Amino acid sequence: MKARRKWSLTNTFLNSPKFVPYLFVSPFIIAFLLFYLYPMISTIIMSFQEIGFGEVSYVGLANYEKLLNKHYLSALMTSTSYTFWTILILIPLPLVLAVLLNSKHTRFKNFFRSSLFMPALTSVIVAGMFFRYSFGENPQTLMNSLVGLFGIEPIVWLQNSTPAMIGLVILCTWRWLGVNIIYFLSGLQGIPDEIYEAAAIDGANRWDKFRHITIPNLKPVIIYVLTISVFGGYKMFAESYAYWQTATPGDIGMTIVSYIYQVGFNNFEMGYASAIGITLLLIVLIINLIQLKFFGLFKKEGE
């Protein structure tokens, strides 16, 4: 009798429109609390501590005071310029390619789509190894043979800051181009053909259509891609790791996350590493707020 009542109680719960949504989102909420919020809070706490084996002492702001050093600033510069260059390439290029792939006149569309998307499925480390070897400094390596075609002397790619940045950006472009194309393609397919037809009747040429119909209609997608690119750029680590492991010569490829890794695991200063992590969070947050404000995402419709 009792068991039956319990059963019906569960039943009512499962049918209750107030409760069920929570049930469905609970896996996400639990995962978020356990794997995101909890580590985030403990990182904030750890950034004020000095941590040894089983011994923890509060050191106030000492970890944050350490931040003003060459390595941190250089890591910040590297991450920023990496983010800048990836955004500069990874928005216009996939946009144009997506428009081409969406055009009725393009042939073998599916083949191009899948081959452009393929790199996104490879592991960063595997791809990184491949690129690490192609960017080797021997004259026979892939990249040096390529530049050799233009009569350029073999380049020592990974020990100079400009070629190193080119190497990082090429790896990133290769990997993420396909993903961004997919975003833009899905955006393009949401633009009704009638608008283009109407424009054609009004005498708009291809460029006008692209400029005045495609771009404005893709604005939400562009803002989305921009936002995740800012995140992606600042949190980049694996690419740099694949090229140089942990010790980047002269810090040329050391990003903020590689710096966290080095400080935390190589020097075993977990507290300081946490402090760097917190600054990274703040930097990305601020940049995104500025960018969203700039694109008017906070404005209400019709304002």
Partner 1 sequence: MKKVFVLLLVIAMLTVMAVSGLAKETRLTYWTYQELHKEFMDDAVEVWNEKNPDNQIVLETSVYPYDQMHNKLLIALQSGVGAPDLSDIEISKFANYLKGKTPQLVPLNDVVEPVLDKTIKARFDNYSKGGKYYGMPFHVGAEVMYYNKEYLDAAGVDVDEIVTWDDYVEAGKKVKAATGKPMTTIEVTEHWSYYPLISQAGSDIFAPDGEVILDNETNIKVLQFLKDMIYKHEIAIPAPGGFHHSEEYWAFMNNGGAASLMMPIWYMGRFVQYMPDLKGKMIIRPLPAWEEGGNRSAGMGGTGTVVTIQSKHKDLAVNFLGEAKLSKEASKKLWTVLGFDPVRWDVWDSPEMKADNDYTDYFGKGIFDILLEIKEEINPTVITEKYPKAIDLLKKNVSFKALKEQSMTPEEVLKEAAEELK
Residues that bind partner 1 (CB under 8 A): 51-55, 69, 133, 136-138, 158-159, 245-251, 262, 265-268, 270
Find, among 281, 278, 237, the residue nearest to 259 by Cα.
237
Closer residue to partner 1, CB minimum distance, 58 or 84 = 58
Closer residue to partner 1, CB minimum distance, 119 or 136 = 136
Per DSSP, helices labelled H in 33-121 are 38-46, 62-65, 70-90, 92-102, 109-117
* φ, ψ (nearest 5 deg) of residue 50: -115, 130
Q: How far is the CB of 64 from partner 1 (least distance, A)?
A: 18
Report d(CA 61, CA 269) in Å as an integer.
14
Report d(CA 218, CA 180) in Å as an integer.
12
Report d(CA 255, CA 225) in Å as an integer.
21
Amino acid at 33: L
Closer residue to partner 1, CB minimum distance, 119 or 154 = 154
Q: How far is the CB of 268 from partner 1 (least distance, A)?
A: 4
Closer residue to partner 1, CB minimum distance, 190 or 250 = 250
Q: Strand, helix or coil at 185?
A: helix
Distance from the Cα of residue 196 to its chain's centroid? 33
Residue 179 · residue 117 · CB < 8 Å = yes
Report d(CA 44, CA 59) in Å as an integer.
13
Q: How far is the CB of 250 from partner 1 (least distance, A)?
A: 5
Q: How far is the CB of 2 from partner 1 (least distance, A)?
A: 41
Q: How far is the CB of 60 from partner 1 (least distance, A)?
A: 19
Closer residue to partner 1, CB minimum distance, 71 or 209 = 71
Amino acid at 167: G
Q: How far is the CB of 51 from partner 1 (least distance, A)?
A: 8
Closer residue to partner 1, CB minimum distance, 16 or 245 = 245
